[in-house]
């Protein structure tokens, strides 16, 4: 085989490989840019009486910013996988925006729902909330938001009709985050529970610090909850006991340096704070009115 013949064969082989690679990429692409069939089914042939479907779009982790810009970080921090959004229009009535988020797992769907929960209802899905034109609910791995702003009687009624259809199409319920099992039930304010995996949300009720002193990451489970007359409980479950121990040391360093043994102190605003470590679970109480309240909450956890 002479050199030119060899070169020709090499060029042909390279071209074939290139074409095959491109073909395989193109084959893979629709899967990347289209919603999962389970998700598509939730809105398939969904008609809304008197409202006309104006547009439908799909967003994934790469382009969610195009839809909700900076807010996308919130959803990404909860494991967002995909979003189908639909816009319905009707004359002078407000547009209805239906957003169905696939959060990958039911704990993540619960987490994003809990993030902005003010009044908890069980009317739709596994938990719902209606606030002036906005209905949010979660069921299984899906978090659903239906918005019509400003609210009208007709749009409100339609929002609930749409929600019931979608809810029914999500056939099974999903599990709650297991860390919620640790929360004592007595005096718990249920709508106050916040489940999260990013330190940005640790300050929801009470400014602790703007930094990640407890090393809350996507590998940890964290929950905040308010208790009537007792204070704020924060639980963080770490992959390993050593990780929890490091976070405990940081609590002592920044919040209880004067009493590293008892680890329950009265801080400068007169409230009490304290912590207890149980294996890989760090239990912290903030904003308690008295020392006994800290102990009551710390000791209520098995």
Contact set with another protein (CB under 8 A) = 65, 68-71, 73-75, 97, 99, 101, 116, 118, 129, 131-134, 136, 145, 147, 149-151, 200-211, 213, 254-255, 267-269
Distances (CA, A) of 18 to 6, 12, 79, 283: 18, 10, 34, 56
The C-alpha atoms of residue 274 and residue 267 are separated, in whole angstroms, by 10
Q: For another protein, which is the closer residue by CB, 8 or 63? A: 63
Q: How far apart are the first and last CA of the chain?
A: 79
To another protein, the closest distance from the beta carbon of 141 in angstroms equals 16
Q: How far is the CB of 10 from another protein (least distance, A)?
A: 39
Of 28 and 289, which has the nearer Cβ to another protein? 289
Smallest gap, in angstroms, from Cβ of residue 275 to another protein? Answer: 14
Nearer to another protein, 45 or 268 (CB): 268
- Those residues with Cβ within 8 angstroms of residue 214's Cβ, 6 or more apart along the chain or in another chain: 199, 202, 222, 236, 247, 250, 251, 282
Give the residue with the Cβ less far from another protein, 77 or 106: 77
Half-sphere exposure of 35 (CA within 13 A, CB side): 23
- 185: exposed, middle or buried (C-beta count within 10 Å: 0-12, 13-18, 19+)? exposed
The encoded tokens of residue 120 equal 């908890």
User: What minimum distance in Å lies between the beta carbon of 51 and another protein?
Assistant: 18
Q: How far is the CB of 117 from another protein (least distance, A)?
A: 8
Give the residue with the Cβ less far from another protein, 45 or 62: 62
Give the burial class of 31: count Cβ atoms within 10 A of its Cβ; 0-12 exposed, 13-18 middle, 19 or more buried: exposed
Contact 184, 300 (CB under 8 A): yes
DSSP class of residue 215 equals -
User: Least distance from C-beta 97 to another protein, angstroms?
Assistant: 7
Q: Is the Cβ of residue 151 or residue 280 nearer to another protein in the bound state?
A: 151
């Amino acid at each position: 085989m002479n050199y030119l013949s060899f070169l020709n064969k090499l060029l042909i082989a390279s071209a074939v490989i290139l074409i095959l690679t491109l073909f395989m990429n193109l084959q893979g692409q629709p899967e990347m840019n289209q919603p999962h069939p389970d998700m598509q089914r939730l809105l398939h042939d969904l008609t809304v009486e008197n409202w006309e479907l104006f547009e439908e779009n799909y967003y994934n982790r790469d382009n969610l910013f195009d839809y909700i810009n900076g807010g996308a970080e919130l959803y990404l921090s909860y494991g967002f996988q995909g979003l189908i959004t639909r816009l319905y229009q009707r004359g002078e009535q407000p547009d209805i925006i239906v957003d169905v988020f696939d959060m990958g797992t039911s704990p993540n769907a619960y987490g994003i729902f809990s993030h902005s929960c003010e009044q908890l209802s069980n009317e739709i899905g596994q938990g719902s909330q209606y606030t002036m034109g906005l209905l949010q609910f979660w069921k299984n791995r899906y978090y659903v938001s239906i918005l019509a702003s400003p609210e009208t009687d007709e749009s409100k009624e339609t929002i609930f009709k749409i929600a019931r259809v979608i809810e029914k199409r999500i056939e099974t319920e999903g599990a709650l985050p297991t860390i919620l099992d640790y929360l004592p039930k007595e005096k718990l304010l249920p709508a106050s529970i916040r489940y999260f995996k990013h330190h940005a949300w640790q300050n929801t009720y009470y400014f602790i610090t703007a930094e990640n002193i407890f090393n809350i990451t996507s590998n940890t489970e964290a929950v905040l909850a308010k208790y009537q007359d007792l204070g704020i409980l924060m639980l963080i479950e770490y992959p390993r006991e050593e990780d929890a121990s490091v976070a405990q040391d940081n609590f002592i360093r920044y919040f209880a340096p004067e009493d590293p043994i008892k680890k329950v102190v009265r801080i400068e605003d007169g409230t009490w704070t304290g912590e207890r470590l149980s294996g890989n679970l760090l239990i912290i109480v903030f904003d308690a009115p008295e020392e006994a309240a800290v102990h009551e909450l710390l000791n209520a956890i098995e």
